[in-house]
Copies of this chain bind each other. A is one copy, B any other.
Amino acid sequence: MLSVAYSAEAKHLNAARLAPQPERLEELFCAVPRESFEAGEGVFWEGDQADHVFKVSEGVLRVFKIIADGRRVITGFLYAGDLVGLSLKDRYLYSAEAVTPVRLRRLARKPFAEALEKWPDLRPQFFARVCDEMATAQDQMVLLSRKSAEERVATFLMLLARRLHGCHPIGRRIHLPMSRLDMADYLGLTIETVSRTITKLVARGVISPEGRHDFAICKPGKLLALCGDGDSYEDTIDREPKMRQAIWPH
């Protein structure tokens, strides 16, 4: 199963460990075939032996934990380009399911780890990924700990807007591929509260619906203000596209 579907990356025909030095972490995944998952299908489960690292190439994934009474907490949504399973425990810390139809590439830990050992240039990139994940987790803690329902929803919309901003430099449109329940479990709210809050934002003209899962941002400034991030040093202007190169290890 060493054949590669994606011909543009055909220069890496061999298994990752035999390939020439990759410049980018993502290239490690080019050597393995893509797998497909239907919407709702599980990729791995919390507590499973954590044998693989994944790279999403299409679609959206949700990662979540379940606690007593079946309460679910979605700790993140993962989009194309994101890596999953980097947390270096022997077992997965969370479960992962496809929100939309998903295509991803799976790499066993061993070759992944060996690649990191072998090519030091990859390590800063890897650190940067883990670091971003940590930063995101911290922001989420802030959201869950101290933000109101409205601030949570606004923050979520801004998050998605920024994410799409990467693809569509213009365009104030957001697409919400996940259900209201997913949003609720991500934001620490209920579906009803999410629904009502969105309705309220629409009523105020901050956003405007274009179907159930698409919205236009009519007042970006207002939406940003509603996030409640009136925060220390973070500037209001869009930061430059995320540096994927870690600052250190030098």
Instruction: Establish whether residues B67 and A229, one from each chain, have CB atoms under 8 Å apart when the complex forms.
Output: yes
Residues of B within 8 A of A127 (CB): 88
Of the candidates B47, B69, B93, B249, the one whose C-beta lies within 8 Å of that of A116 is B249
Interface size class of A (residues with CB under 8 A): 35 or more
Q: Which of the 9-residue segments A1-9, A142-150, A193-201 touches chain B? A: A142-150
Q: Which of the 9-residue segments A32-40, A207-215, A230-238 touches chain B? A: A230-238
Residues of B within 8 A of A94 (CB): 138
Residue with the greatest number of chain B CB neighbours at <10 A, chosen from A89, A91, A141: A141
Q: Which partner residue on chain B sits nearest A134 by CB separation?
A: B87
Tell me the interface secondary structure of chain A in the complex.
mixed
Q: Which partner residue on chain B sits nearest A151 by CB separation?
A: B68
A113 touching B233 in the complex, CB below 8 Å, given contacts A71-B146, A131-B88, A135-B93: no
Instruction: Establish whether residues A73 and B134, one from each chain, have CB atoms under 8 Å apart when the complex forms.
Output: no
Residues of B within 8 A of A250 (CB): 110, 113-114
Instruction: Establish whether residues B131 and A89, one from each chain, have CB atoms under 8 Å apart when the complex forms.
Output: yes
Instruction: Establish whether residues B138 and A75, one from each chain, have CB atoms under 8 Å apart when the complex forms.
Output: yes
A133 to B88, CA, bound (A): 11
Of the candidates B46, B134, B230, the one whose C-beta lies within 8 Å of that of A67 is B230
Instruction: Establish whether residues A89 and B188, one from each chain, have CB atoms under 8 Å apart when the complex forms.
Output: no
Residue with the greatest number of chain B CB neighbours at <10 A, chosen from A50, A65, A138, A247: A138
Residues of B within 8 A of A185 (CB): 145
- A181 CB–B CB distance under 8 Å: no
Instruction: Establish whether residues A138 and B93, one from each chain, have CB atoms under 8 Å apart when the complex forms.
Output: yes
- A165 CB–B CB distance under 8 Å: no
A-B contact list, 26 entries, CB within 8 Å: A47-B232, A50-B247, A65-B142, A66-B232, A67-B142, A67-B146, A68-B228, A68-B229, A72-B146, A75-B142, A87-B131, A87-B135, A88-B127, A88-B130, A88-B247, A88-B248, A110-B248, A110-B250, A113-B248, A117-B120, A117-B249, A130-B130, A134-B134, A137-B138, A145-B185, A145-B188
